[in-house]
């Protein structure tokens, strides 16, 4: 009789417990997947075209000081399975920390930070930045613009909806080569998505950040070419002698002014020399402020810690779901209470 009473009661209870456990587990797994690995599926800005103004100066010591620059473009997300950049008129940077870049200098004396990026069963190995063999080359992390230009310039296209658009901007870099013989035919650039938040998290300013233009090009089956005619690379400018610094001339000196020592006095006394303006001034100059240099290690206040906490919460929900599935909580409590 007891088995007949408990049997029909336990089966609906087990089914209800299974549904509850499955719902909790699915919710936890979804959170873990979205916040633990979802960022890796986002797209990234892509190099667009070369920009004028590249220079290569031969310094007196024989080194070559090279400056290159180009442009990048980040279109509105057109693929539903990607995070994308949903740039709008009211929020042109979406929720991203901005755009970063690293230059592939192709320096035979400095291989840079060698990274291999893979996607769609393809892989590309590049040496990004510098390892500091020449002290002037200190680009050991991803460079980026400071606010308010962290996402470049917004252009309203009203595609796919009104107020939507794209963002574009410029990248730049400088490098010192040991000699003219070490100059490559071209240098290339890899652009990065710096993740979520106002300031990039540390993981996003390292060259190991795989949310970049190489991976995205492979994902779109476009490949990643090192041709100087393509958007990823720029040709090495022709080296020229560095311009001589402007000559410095001493400031003009004025003859001493002699004034009489008093009314009617025939004995002149030299006047006190005028105090130079640079000595008289005690307040700092008020010239135009200069923008801080981009690049370098950036502080952490980004999306990373929040994503980790949400991922942990998702995993805890998965464990809770498994517990609810295999354990009858009500009967366990009754057994503990002796009911």
Asked if 205 and 218 sit in the same domain, the reply is: yes
Q: What is residue 149's predicted lDDT score, i.e. its pLDDT?
A: 87
pLDDT at 55 over 90: yes
Q: Is residue 262 part of a domain?
A: no
Q: Are residues 33 and 74 in the same domain?
A: no
Is the same domain home to 64 and 33?
no
Residue 166: name the closest of 92, 230, 109, 62 by CA. 92
d(CA 259, CA 262) in angstroms, rounded, equals: 9
* Strand 240-241 to 55-58 pairing: parallel
Give the range with max mean pLDDT: 83-92, 233-242, 284-293, 324-333: 233-242
pTM (2 decimals)?
0.64
Condensed to tens digits (0 to 9), the pLDDT of residues 246-273 reads 777 766 776 666 555 555 555 554 545 4
Residue 73 lies in a domain: yes
**pLDDT of 323:** 79
Q: 51 and 132: one domain?
A: yes
Where is the domain boundary, 218, 241, 264? 241
Domain annotation covers residue 265: no
Nearest to 149 by CA among 170, 172, 173, 174: 170
| Per-residue pLDDT, 256 | 62
117 part of a folded domain: yes
pLDDT at position 206 is: 96
Is the pLDDT at 97 greater than 90, yes or no? yes
One domain for residues 215 and 93: yes
CA–CA separation, 70 and 52 (whole Å): 8
- Give per-residue pLDDT as tens, 283-326: 333 333 333 333 333 333 334 455 557 767 777 888 887 777 77
Based on the fold, state whether residues 206 and 237 are members of the same structural domain: yes
pLDDT at 127 over 50: yes
In a domain, 57, yes or no: yes
CA distance 219 to 27: 29
Q: Across all residues in the chain, what is the average pLDDT?
A: 77
Q: What is the pLDDT of residue 67?
A: 96
pLDDT > 80? residue 84: no
Residue 129: name the closest of 97, 145, 107, 146 by CA.
107
Listed range (88-102, 130-144, 304-318) with the worst mean pLDDT: 304-318
3-state helix, strand, coil split of the chain in percent (to 5) is 25, 25, 50
92 and 119 in one domain?
A: yes
Residue 185, pLDDT score: 94
Asked if 58 and 22 sit in the same domain, the reply is no
Which of 216, 209, 242, 213 is closest to 47 using CA atoms?
A: 213
Whole-number pLDDT of residue 153: 94
pLDDT class of 21 with cuts at 50, 70, 90: low
Per residue in 158-194, pLDDT (tens digit) is 988 999 999 999 999 999 999 999 999 999 999 999 9
Q: Same domain for 159 and 225?
A: yes
Domain end among 193, 208, 241: 241
User: Number of structural domains, the chain?
Assistant: 2
Distance CA 95, CA 88 (A): 11
Same domain, 163 and 309: no
Q: In which domain, by residue range, is 140 found?
A: 40-241
Tokens of 141: 């992390």
Computed over its alpha carbons, how large is the radius of gyration of the chain? 32
Q: How many CA atoms lie within 13 A of 330 on its CB side?
A: 6
Interhelix angle for 2-37 vs 304-326, to 10°?
Answer: 170
Task: Decide if 227 is inside a domain.
Answer: yes
Model confidence pLDDT, tens digit, residues 322-339: 777 777 777 777 777 777
Does one domain contain both 24 and 76? no
Winning range, highest mean pLDDT, from 1-15, 38-52, 96-110:
96-110
**Closest among 39, 89, 338 to 209, alpha carbons compared:** 39
- Whether 81 shows a pLDDT value over 50: the answer reads yes
Q: Are residues 48 and 121 in the same domain?
A: yes
Please indicate, yes or no, if residue 113 is contained in any of the structural domains.
Answer: yes
Least trusted range by pLDDT, from 48-57, 103-112, 314-323: 314-323
Beta strands in the chain (DSSP E): 46-50, 55-58, 64-74, 99-104, 113-119, 122-128, 143-144, 153-156, 165-177, 186-193, 233-235, 240-241, 258-260, 268-270
């Amino acid at each position: 009789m007891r088995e007949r009473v408990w049997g029909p009661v336990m089966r609906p209870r087990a089914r209800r417990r299974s549904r509850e456990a499955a719902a909790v587990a699915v919710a936890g797994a979804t959170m873990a997947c979205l916040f633990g690995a979802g960022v890796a599926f986002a797209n990234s800005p892509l190099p667009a075209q070369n920009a004028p103004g590249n220079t290569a100066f031969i310094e007196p010591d024989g080194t070559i000081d090279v400056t290159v620059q180009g442009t990048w473009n980040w279109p509105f997300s057109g693929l539903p399975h990607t995070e994308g950049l949903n740039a709008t008129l009211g929020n042109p940077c979406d929720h991203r920390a901005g755009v970063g870049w690293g230059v592939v200098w192709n320096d035979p004396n400095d291989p840079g930070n060698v990274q291999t990026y893979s996607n769609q069963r393809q892989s590309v190995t590049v040496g990004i930045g510098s390892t500091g063999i020449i002290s002037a080359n200190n680009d050991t992390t991803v460079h980026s613009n400071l606010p308010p230009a962290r996402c470049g310039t917004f252009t309203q296209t009203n595609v796919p909806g009104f107020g939507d658009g794209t963002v574009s901007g410029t990248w730049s870099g400088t490098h010192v080569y040991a000699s003219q013989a070490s100059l490559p035919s071209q240098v290339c650039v890899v652009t990065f998505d710096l993740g979520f938040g106002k300031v990039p998290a540390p993981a996003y300013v390292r060259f190991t950040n795989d949310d970049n233009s190489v991976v995205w090009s492979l994902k779109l089956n476009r490949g990643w070419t090192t041709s100087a005619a393509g958007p990823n690379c720029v040709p090495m400018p022709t080296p020229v002698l560095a311009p001589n610094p402007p000559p410095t001339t001493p400031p003009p000196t004025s003859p001493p002014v002699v004034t009489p020592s008093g009314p009617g006095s025939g004995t002149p006394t030299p006047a006190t020399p005028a105090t130079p303006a640079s000595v008289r001034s005690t307040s700092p100059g008020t010239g135009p402020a200069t923008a801080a240099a981009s690049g370098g290690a950036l502080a952490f206040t980004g999306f990373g810690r929040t994503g980790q906490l949400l991922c942990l919460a998702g995993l805890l929900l998965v464990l809770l779901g498994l517990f609810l599935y295999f354990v009858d909580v009500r009967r366990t409590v009754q057994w503990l209470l002796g009911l």
